[in-house]
Amino acid sequence: MAERIIHFREALREAIYEEMKKDENIFIMGEEVAEYNGAYKVSQGLLDEFGSKRVIDTPIAELGFAGIGVGAAMNGLRPIVEFMTWNFALLAIDQVVNSAAKMLAMSGGQFNCPIVFRGPSGSAGQLGAQHSQMFENWYANVPGLKVISPSNPYDAKGLLKSAIIDNDPVVFMESEVMYGDKGDVPEGEYYIPIGKADIKRHGNDVTIVSFNKMMKVALQAAEELQKEGISAEVIDLRTIRPLDFPAIVESVKRTNRLVIVEESWPFGSISSEITYQVQKNAFDYLDAPIKRVNAKDVSMAYAPTLVEAYLPSVKETIEAVKSVMYVKN
Mean pLDDT on 234-258: 98
Active-site choice (7, 14, 31, 131): 131
Strands 146-148 and 170-174: parallel
Contact 285, 256 (CB under 8 A): yes
Mean pLDDT on 242-253: 98
3-186 and 198-324 have identical folds: yes
**Res 246 pLDDT > 60:** yes
**Res 329 pLDDT > 80:** no
Active-site choice (10, 31, 62, 273): 62
Mean pLDDT on 157-176: 98
Mean pLDDT on 204-211: 98
189 is catalytic: no
Distance CA 55, CA 42 (A): 12
More confident residue, 125 or 119: 119
Distance CA 219, CA 234 (A): 7
pLDDT digits (tens, 9 = 90+) for 214-237: 999 999 999 999 999 999 999 999
Q: Which CATH class is domain 3-186?
A: alpha beta
Task: Tell me the domain boundaries of the chain.
Answer: 3-186, 198-324
Q: Could you check whether the bond before residue 242 is cis, i.e. omega within 30 degrees of 0?
A: yes
pLDDT digits (tens, 9 = 90+) for 47-106: 999 999 999 999 999 999 999 999 999 999 999 999 999 999 999 999 999 999 999 999
**pLDDT confidence of 2, banded at 50, 70, 90?**
low
Per-residue pLDDT, 328: 81
131 is catalytic: yes
pLDDT digits (tens, 9 = 90+) for 272-296: 999 999 999 999 999 999 999 999 9
The answer to whether the predicted template modeling score (pTM) of the entire model surpasses 0.85 is yes
Mean per-residue pLDDT over the chain, rounded: 96
**Res 1 pLDDT > 80:** no
Which residues have CB under 8 Å from 30's CB, separation 6+? 56, 57, 58, 65, 81, 82, 83, 84, 119
∠ CA 185-188-191, nearest 5°, is 75
**Is the domain defined by 198-324 classed in CATH 3.40.50.12780?**
no
Q: Residue 7: what are its φ and ψ, rounded to 5°?
A: -80, 160
**Res 187 pLDDT > 80:** yes
